[in-house]
A and B are shown apart, each in its own frame.
Chain A
Amino acid sequence: MSSVLIVFKKELREVVRDRRTLIAIGLAALATPLIMTVISQLATKTATQTYTVGYSGEIPIGLDVLLQATGLKLERVADPATAARQQVDIGVVFQTAQVDEYYDPTRQSAQIADTRLQTVLGRYEAAKAEAALRERGVDPGVLHPLPIKAHPLSSPIKAAGNAFLSFFLPYILITMVLTGGLSAALDSSAGERERKTLESLLLTPAPRSRILIGKILAISTISLVAAIAAIGSMLLALTQIALPGAEGASSRITLTPLAAGVMVWLAILLAGTFSSLTLALGTLAKNFRQGQAYATPLYFITIFPASIILFIPDFNPNLVYYLIPILNAVLVLRDAIVHNTVAWPALGVTSASLVVAGVICWLAALRLFTREALLVRS
Chain B
Amino acid sequence: MSPAAVTVDRLEKTLGKNKVLRGISLEANAGEIFGLLGPNGAGKTTTLRVICTLLAPESGSVKVLGFDTLSAPEEVRRRVGVVTADIGVYPRLSARENITYFAQLSGVPDGELKQRVGAVIDRLGMESFANQRADSLSSGQKQKVAIGRAIVHDPEVLMFDEPTSNLDVLASREIREFMVESRGRGRCVIFSTHVLHDAERLCDRVTILHEGSVVATGSTAEVRGRHRDLEDAFLELVL
User: Are the C-beta atoms of A203 and B56 separated by less than 8 Å?
Assistant: no
User: Are the C-beta atoms of A205 and B90 separated by less than 8 Å?
Assistant: no
Question: In whole Å, how far is B51's beta carbon from the nearest beta carbon of chain A?
Answer: 11
Question: In whole Å, how far is A221's beta carbon from the nearest beta carbon of chain B?
Answer: 17
- Give residues of chain B (79-138) contacting chain A, Cβ–Cβ below 8 Å: 80, 82, 84, 86-93, 97, 101-102, 104-107, 110
- Contacting residues, chain A, for B106 (C-beta < 8 A): 204-206
Choose one: A14, A202, A376; the contact of B90 (CB below 8 Å): A14
The distance in angstroms between the C-alpha atoms of A314 and B102, with both chains bound, is 54
- Contacting residues, chain A, for B56 (C-beta < 8 A): 372
Check: A17 CB closer than 8 A to any chain B CB: yes
- Contacting residues, chain B, for A1 (C-beta < 8 A): 104, 110
- Given A200-B146, A205-B77, also A6-B52 (CB < 8 A): no
- Contacting residues, chain A, for B107 (C-beta < 8 A): 205
- Given A204-B106, A205-B77, A375-B55, also A195-B91 (CB < 8 A): yes
Choose one: B54, B104, B146; the contact of A6 (CB below 8 Å): B104
Question: In whole Å, how far is B152's beta carbon from the nearest beta carbon of chain A?
Answer: 10
> Contact residue range for chain A?
20 to 34
- Given A1-B110, A199-B84, also A14-B93 (CB < 8 A): yes
- Given A199-B84, A203-B54, A206-B105, also A375-B49 (CB < 8 A): yes
- Contacting residues, chain A, for B53 (C-beta < 8 A): 203
- When each residue 190-218 of chain A gets 1 if its CB lies under 8 Å from chain B and 0 otherwise, what string results? 00000111111111111100010000000
The distance in angstroms between the C-alpha atoms of A195 and B149, with both chains bound, is 16
The distance in angstroms between the C-alpha atoms of A201 and B93, with both chains bound, is 15
- Give residues of chain B (24-69) contacting chain A, Cβ–Cβ below 8 Å: 49, 52-56
User: Are the C-beta atoms of B82 and A203 separated by less than 8 Å?
Assistant: yes
Question: In whole Å, how far is A19's beta carbon from the nearest beta carbon of chain B?
Answer: 10
The distance in angstroms between the C-alpha atoms of A205 and B77, with both chains bound, is 5
User: Are the C-beta atoms of A197 and B89 separated by less than 8 Å?
Assistant: yes
Residues of B whose CB lies within 8 Å of any CB of A are 15-16, 49, 52-56, 74-75, 77-78, 80, 82, 84, 86-93, 97, 101-102, 104-107, 110, 146, 149-150
Q: A197-B88, A203-B54 are in contact. List 14 more A-B contacts (CB 8 A).
A: A1-B104, A3-B105, A6-B105, A10-B90, A17-B92, A195-B90, A196-B86, A198-B88, A199-B88, A200-B82, A203-B53, A204-B77, A204-B102, A205-B74
Instruction: List 24 interface pairs A-B (beta carbons < 8 Å), by A numbering.
Output: A1-B110, A7-B105, A10-B93, A13-B92, A13-B93, A14-B90, A14-B93, A17-B92, A195-B88, A195-B90, A195-B91, A197-B90, A199-B88, A200-B84, A200-B146, A201-B105, A203-B82, A204-B105, A205-B75, A205-B105, A206-B105, A211-B105, A375-B54, A375-B55
